[in-house]
Chain A
Amino acid sequence: MLGLNKKDFRLLMIVLGLTMLAPFILNPFPSSSGLAQFNAGYPDLMQRFVIFGIFAIGFNILFGLTGYLSFGHAAFLGVGSYGAMWMMKLFSLNVIPAIIMGVIVAGIFAVAVGYVSLRRSGIYFSILTLAFAQMSYALAYSVLTPITGGETGLQIKSTDSPLLSNLAEGEIGRANLFGMDMRASYEMAVGDWLFTFNAGYYIAAVFMLISFYLAIRIFRSPFGTMLRAVKSNQTRMYYTGLNARPYTLAAFVISGMYAGLAGGLLVAMDTQVGPERMFWTASGEVVLMTILGGAGTLIGPVLGAGAIKYMENILSKINKDILHQWFAFLPDGLEDFIITLVYPFIGKGWHLTLGLIFMAVVIFLPGGLVEGGQRIKRLFSRKKKPGDDEADKASQSTPAE
Chain B
Amino acid sequence: MTKSNFTRRGLLKTSAIAGAGVALPTIFTAQSAHAFTNEPTGSSVTLGFNVPQSGPYADEGADELRAYELAVEHLNGGGDGGMMNTFSSKALQGNGILGKEVKYVTGDTQTKSDAARASAKSMIEKDGAIMITGGSSSGVAVAVQALCQEAGVIFMAGLTHSNDTTGKDRKANGFRHFFNSYMSGAALAPVLAANYGTDRKAYHLTADYNWGYTTEEAVKASTEAMGWETVAAVKTPLTQTDFSSYIAPVLQSGADTLVLNHYGGNMVNSLTNAVQFGLRDKQVNGKDFQIIVPLYSRLMAKGAGANVKGIFGSTNWHWSLTDEGSQAFVKSFGTKYGFPPSQAAHTTYVQALLYADAVERAGSFAPCAVAEALEDFEFDGMGNGKTLYRGADHQCFKDVLVVKGKENPDSEFDLLEVVEVTPVDQVMYSPDHPQMGGAEATLGTCNNGA
Give the shortest distance, in Å, between A98 (CB) and chain B (any CB).
Answer: 16
Contact with A along B24-36 (1 / 0, CB 8 A): 1111111101000
Q: Select from chain B the residue with minimum beta-carbon distance to A271.
A: B150
In the assembled complex, B340 has its CB within 8 A of some CB on chain A? no
Query: Which listed residue, A45, A174, A185, A348, touches B54 by the CB 8 Å rule?
Result: A348
**B118, A150: Cβ atoms under 8 Å?**
no
In the assembled complex, A361 has its CB within 8 A of some CB on chain B? no
Q: Select from chain B the residue with minimum beta-carbon distance to A2.
A: B14
Q: Select from chain A the residue with minimum beta-carbon distance to B2.
A: A3
**B26, A180: Cβ atoms under 8 Å?**
yes
Residues of A within 8 A of B235 (CB): 142
**B444, A141: Cβ atoms under 8 Å?**
no
Query: Which listed residue, B27, B107, B121, B162, touches A316 by the CB 8 Å rule?
Result: B107
**B53, A16: Cβ atoms under 8 Å?**
no
Residues of A within 8 A of B106 (CB): 317, 319, 347
In the assembled complex, A70 has its CB within 8 A of some CB on chain B? no
In the assembled complex, B242 has its CB within 8 A of some CB on chain A? no
In the assembled complex, A382 has its CB within 8 A of some CB on chain B? no
Given contacts A43-B125, A174-B150, contact A348 B108 (CB under 8 A): yes
Alpha-carbon distance A196/B118, docked complex (angstroms): 17
In the assembled complex, A300 has its CB within 8 A of some CB on chain B? no
Alpha-carbon distance A342/B121, docked complex (angstroms): 26
Given contacts A5-B1, A351-B54, contact A152 B169 (CB under 8 A): yes
Residues of A within 8 A of B95 (CB): none
Alpha-carbon distance A84/B183, docked complex (angstroms): 36
Interface centre among B105, B118, B162, B237 (most CB of A within 10 A): B118
Alpha-carbon distance A274/B137, docked complex (angstroms): 13
In the assembled complex, B142 has its CB within 8 A of some CB on chain A? yes
Interface size of A in residues (CB-CB distance below 8 Å): 60
Residues of B within 8 A of A270 (CB): 117, 121, 147
Query: Which listed residue, A145, A151, A158, A276, touches B444 by the CB 8 Å rule?
Result: A158
Alpha-carbon distance A174/B152, docked complex (angstroms): 13
Which of A54-62, A197-205, A228-236, A239-247 participates in binding chain B?
Answer: A197-205
Residues of A within 8 A of B118 (CB): 44-45, 48, 312-313
Contact with B along A182-209 (1 / 0, CB 8 A): 0111110000000011110011001000
Alpha-carbon distance A145/B22, docked complex (angstroms): 39
In the assembled complex, A155 has its CB within 8 A of some CB on chain B? yes
Alpha-carbon distance A155/B2, docked complex (angstroms): 46
Contact with A along B234-269 (1 / 0, CB 8 A): 010110000000000000000000000000000000
Residues of A within 8 A of B149 (CB): 172
Give the shortest distance, in Å, between A201 (CB) and chain B (any CB).
Answer: 8
**B209, A150: Cβ atoms under 8 Å?**
yes
In the assembled complex, A272 has its CB within 8 A of some CB on chain B? yes
**B143, A153: Cβ atoms under 8 Å?**
yes
Give the shortest distance, in Å, between A365 (CB) and chain B (any CB).
Answer: 28
Residues of B within 8 A of A185 (CB): 28, 30-31
**A272, B117: Cβ atoms under 8 Å?**
yes
Alpha-carbon distance A48/B117, docked complex (angstroms): 12
Alpha-carbon distance A276/B110, docked complex (angstroms): 10
**B54, A151: Cβ atoms under 8 Å?**
no
Residues of B within 8 A of A374 (CB): none
In the assembled complex, A138 has its CB within 8 A of some CB on chain B? yes
In the assembled complex, A376 has its CB within 8 A of some CB on chain B? no
Alpha-carbon distance A4/B3, docked complex (angstroms): 7
Given contacts A42-B126, A172-B444, contact A1 B150 (CB under 8 A): no
Contact with A along B149-168 (1 / 0, CB 8 A): 11100000000001010000
Give the shortest distance, in Å, between B135 (CB) and chain A (any CB).
Answer: 13
Alpha-carbon distance A99/B112, docked complex (angstroms): 23
**A313, B119: Cβ atoms under 8 Å?**
yes
**A45, B30: Cβ atoms under 8 Å?**
no
Alpha-carbon distance A49/B108, docked complex (angstroms): 19
Residues of A within 8 A of B31 (CB): 185-187
Alpha-carbon distance A150/B206, docked complex (angstroms): 14
Query: Which listed residue, B29, B107, B208, B210, touches A152 by the CB 8 Å rule?
Result: B210
In the assembled complex, B341 has its CB within 8 A of some CB on chain A? no
**A152, B164: Cβ atoms under 8 Å?**
yes
In the assembled complex, A39 has its CB within 8 A of some CB on chain B? yes
Give the shortest distance, in Å, between A205 (CB) and chain B (any CB).
Answer: 8
**B53, A348: Cβ atoms under 8 Å?**
yes
- 19 contacting pairs across A/B (C-beta < 8 A): A1-B3, A1-B5, A20-B21, A20-B24, A43-B121, A45-B122, A151-B210, A152-B113, A155-B169, A157-B169, A185-B31, A187-B31, A196-B125, A199-B25, A271-B150, A274-B143, A276-B112, A312-B115, A321-B104
Give the shortest distance, in Å, between B273 (CB) and chain A (any CB).
Answer: 20
In the assembled complex, A336 has its CB within 8 A of some CB on chain B? no
**A277, B114: Cβ atoms under 8 Å?**
yes
Residues of B within 8 A of A316 (CB): 53, 107-108, 119
**B28, A276: Cβ atoms under 8 Å?**
no
**A184, B209: Cβ atoms under 8 Å?**
no
**B25, A202: Cβ atoms under 8 Å?**
yes
**B139, A153: Cβ atoms under 8 Å?**
yes
Residues of A within 8 A of B1 (CB): 5, 220
Give the shortest distance, in Å, between B164 (CB) and chain A (any CB).
Answer: 6
Residues of B within 8 A of A313 (CB): 118-119, 122
In the assembled complex, B365 has its CB within 8 A of some CB on chain A? no
The 5 closest A-B pairs by CB, nearest first: A186-B28, A274-B113, A348-B53, A44-B121, A202-B25
**B122, A142: Cβ atoms under 8 Å?**
no
Q: Select from chain B the residue with minimum beta-carbon distance to A170.
A: B444
In the assembled complex, A340 has its CB within 8 A of some CB on chain B? no
Q: Select from chain A the residue with minimum beta-carbon distance to B145.
A: A155
Residues of A within 8 A of B21 (CB): 16, 20, 202, 206
In the assembled complex, A181 has its CB within 8 A of some CB on chain B? yes
Give the shortest distance, in Å, between B400 (CB) and chain A (any CB).
Answer: 23
Q: Select from chain B the residue with minimum beta-carbon distance to A20.
A: B21
Residues of A within 8 A of B108 (CB): 316-317, 347-348
Further contacts, 8 of them, CB under 8 A, given A142-B238, A155-B169, A199-B25: A1-B10, A42-B122, A151-B238, A152-B142, A157-B169, A172-B149, A276-B113, A276-B115
